[in-house]
Amino acid sequence: MTFKQKGDDDYFIRLLSYLRSQFKESIIEMVPYRKSVILIKTEKNTYMLKGFHTNKRLRLQEAFTSTLRSEGFEKTYLFVHPEIKDPLFFEGTYFGCMEYISPNKTPFSFQSQKNRQEGLELLEQFHKVTSSFESRYRTIIPKGIIIEKWKDRGAAFASNLSTIKYFINEQILADMLDWANWSLSGMEKDRSLFINEPFCILHGDVAHHNFLRDSKGSLHLIDFDLISIGPALLDYLQYANRILPSLDWSFERLSLYPQFQSLLNEKAFLYALAFPADIFREWNRLIREGSYRDQHKYNQMMNLSVGQYYSRKKFIDTLKKLAK
């Protein structure tokens, strides 16, 4: 076995023993990626195990990925059911068994234009397919919300300012809070853009690590833990926030992507692009976990908050002019 998480050796040894008692196939290798994501190799097959806190959540993911495939979205995994003695339940976690997608030697990232465009096209295809069956899931998965979510995130960031001010100067912090207030006030003026139909099923976490290029070069969309129902632009808004650092916060470069061109004519979308969702999210997490003592994470946060500050400020100044 290979352990990537220090301190969890005992847990994984117990888990391996349990899995060997449950699988009828002989397990020859186990590689934990996280405590809840584990690669299993047997004499015949390779699987990915994923843990869920409830059996209901596991069954939802099984049903959703099955619906995706049956409705024509092929670029993801399916849950599979190898021969096992009982449903996999270990120390409070329900484990589902998924197809293993052999990864490409070059991991997917938003650094390249090709990847950014291909990711957008795959997301667009995902929305098109899920729009055909989202009504079936309206009573099962939550509705996508953004204004209230961002208000809560901003309030948490404000409550952490007494700590954050030791790392970032007051003028930069004041600008971040101003961006957030300007953004939310503009979004409130046209709230309908973020809540009105047509709806699809939103992915909800379009980070680079949820796009997986396989060994043959085909791109897949994975990890549907945060799916919700809402207008597709909520995913595109998050995608824009994810790729803008790679575009050096250039409005002109963002406007070249076909999927954003009509959205950039919507004032409410321009307001939403100004919200520093990534900064607030990562600082709140850093303080919650106490991981600002981790030099690597600290460096990442300083680049996000300070290193990109002037480029982001120029971008938001452009948004303010366009939104007048």
Same fold, 9-99 and 113-322: no
pLDDT score of 118: 98
pLDDT in tens, 23-57: 999 999 999 988 899 999 999 999 999 999 999 99
Distance CA 100, CA 78 (A): 9
pLDDT in tens, 281-310: 999 999 999 887 888 989 999 999 999 999
Q: What is the mean pLDDT of the chain?
A: 95
**Encoding tokens for residue 279?**
């900064």
The larger pLDDT score, comparing residue 240 to residue 86, is at 240
Is residue 105 helix, strand or coil?
coil
Considering the domain delimited by 9-99, tell me its CATH architecture. 2-Layer Sandwich (3.30)
pLDDT beyond 70 at 7: no
| Percent of residues in the chain assigned helix, strand, coil, to nearest 5 | 55, 15, 30
Q: What angle do CA 108, 109, 112 make, to 5 degrees?
A: 110
β-pair partners for 44: none
pLDDT in tens, 192-228: 999 999 999 999 999 999 999 999 999 999 999 999 9
| 137: CB partners within 8 A, 6+ apart | 64, 201, 229
- Range 113-322 has CATH code 3.30.1490.20: no
Which ranges in 39-82 belong to alpha helices (H)?
55-70
Q: The pTM is what?
A: 0.94
Each residue of 86-100: b (16+ CB within 10 Å) or e? Answer: eebebeebbbbbbee
pLDDT in tens, 122-152: 999 999 999 999 999 999 999 999 999 999 9
Please report, for the chain, the start and end positions of each structural domain, with discontinuous segments joined by +. Answer: 9-99, 113-322
Count of Cβ atoms closer than 10 Å to residue 169 Cβ? 10
Starting at the edge strand that comes first in sequence, how are the strands of the sheet with 89-90 ordered?
Answer: 27-34, 37-42, 46-52, 93-99, 89-90
